[in-house]
Amino acid sequence: MSFDVGARLKALRALYGLSQRELAKRAGVTNSTISLIEQNRVSPSVASLKKVLDGMPISLAEFFTMDLGSENKTFYGVHEFADFSFGDTVKFRMVGGSYRDRKLHMMQETYMPGGDTGGTMLSYDGEEAGVVVSGAIELTVGDERRVLTAGEGYYFSTRMPHRFRNLGEEPCVLVSASTTTTFQKGQAATVQPMEAAAEAPPEDPPHMQMQGDRTP
DNA sequence: ACTTCGACGAACATACGGGG
DNA sequence: CCCCGTATGTTCGTCGAAGT
């Protein structure tokens, strides 16, 4: 993938003044997992990366869009979406990634055959709805599970543990919208530029309001 | 159609060497 | 001695091929 997940994670970890062990402890993973991700020697799943980021006050969406600046433009061309992917099988394109104080999270999601948000079910505040554009996707929400095909849709509370998987043989494309920003635990963070992190980690980590429970 | 088995990758536990 | 990041070996789950 083109996005350097490892480098960004490393910079963010430095930004918040955390060691690999400290972040691992907060996230509930091992330090070696953090190390492997930072070296780009593994391609973490959506669920795994979210779990790691739970150790810091930053969402998945912010993780991928924090370098896009901030501008309230209205129209977005094909090449003006925020692209991020997980391995080679799950790709997201978000419109308005750079929109200031964004309240809505609108994405075009592509799941290649075998594409999976991860074995660990996702769960966070908010609601999400979507429509399958092409292909088929298996959606598990709580105890419910269904394969949705083109033209079908879904709407659920993202507090419910959920998972997307493409069990078919052709890519699945869907368009989704969620309240706040998907994968987000709090409001938009004020994150300092990556250069600042590399040069001198701030004494006070960027502040953001948290909604979920979190160990200090 | 179903089961078995091997390959593969993610994640884990642990050990190692470097730097203060 | 402690903390750090990295390396290594192991476990586990998934997937596809082969056999019944």
Distances, alpha carbon A187 to alpha carbons A28, A135, A198, A211, in Å: 23, 33, 25, 8
- Banded pLDDT at A119 (limits 50, 70, 90): low
Identify the pLDDT of residue A180. Answer: 59
Confidence grade of residue A69 (pLDDT, cut at 50, 70, 90): low
Amino acid identity of A108?
Q
- Amino acid, single-letter form, for residue A13: R
A27 neighbors A18 (Cβ within 8 angstroms) = no
Amino acid A42 CA to nucleotide B9 C1' distance, rounded Å: 8
CA A153 to chain CA mean position, Å: 21
Fold of A5-208: Jelly Rolls (2.60.120)
Least trusted range by pLDDT, from A48-52, A149-153, A182-186:
A182-186
Residue A188 reports pLDDT greater than 60: no
Rounded to two decimals, the pTM is 0.66
* Contact, A5 CB vs strand B, < 7 Å: no
Domain ranges of chain A: 5-208
Given this model, what pLDDT does residue A40 score? 72
Q: Of the given ranges (A1-5, A17-21, A85-89, A92-96), which has the lowest mean pLDDT?
A: A1-5
pLDDT for the residue numbered A91: 81
Mean pLDDT of A93-117: 79
What's the Å distance between residue A198 CA and nucleotide B4 C1'? 52
Nucleotide nearest to A21 (CA to C1'): C4
Rounded to the nearest 10 degrees, the angle between the axes of helix A46-53 and helix A20-27 is: 110
